[in-house]
Amino acid sequence: MNRPIPRRGDAELLEAYVRAIVRIGPSRLSPAAAALAREQIIDLTAVMLGNLTGVTPRLGAASHFLSLKLHAAIERDPFGSRERIAAAAGISVRHADRLLALGDLDRAFAGRAPS
């Protein structure tokens, strides 16, 4: 595909979002905000490219990957604190809570005491 990307809707949203992050300065974002921004950029890019090719993208691939990492961390350390498990997965406790609320392990994770 050797043609310019149309400047409409999805592409404009992606461009504005990336420009805002660059303007703010990615190094000034918290790790949780940086992770969410990265995931949103991936999803917006998938939507834009999907519209160009006529393919409906599978959104949330980054969240799915992090969820797998989180579940693996729980399996490796089934009695670990929420903070230790989230850190082992490379995410914040708050993000871990959101990911697990979508799945079936949220009650087991929520019942853990802070370290």
67-107 pLDDT tens trace? 888 888 999 998 999 899 999 988 888 888 877 776 645 44
26-74 pLDDT tens trace? 899 888 788 888 878 887 887 788 777 777 666 566 677 788 888 889 9
Residue carrying the six token digits 């805002």 = 20
Quick count: other Cβ atoms within 10 Å of Cβ 3?
6
- Cα dist. 6→2, 20, 36, 45, 48 in Å? 12, 20, 26, 13, 10
What is the predicted pLDDT for the residue at 20?
Answer: 94
Q: Mean of the per-residue pLDDT values for the chain?
A: 78
pLDDT at 114 over 80: no
What is the predicted pLDDT for the residue at 37?
Answer: 87
What is the predicted pLDDT for the residue at 57?
Answer: 66
Spell out the domain ranges in the chain.
9-53, 61-110
Per-residue tokens: 88: 């082992």
Name the residue with higher pLDDT: 85 or 7.
Answer: 85
> 60: which DSSP letter?
T
Helices (H), the chain: 9-24, 31-53, 61-76, 82-89, 93-101, 106-110
pLDDT at 14 over 70: yes
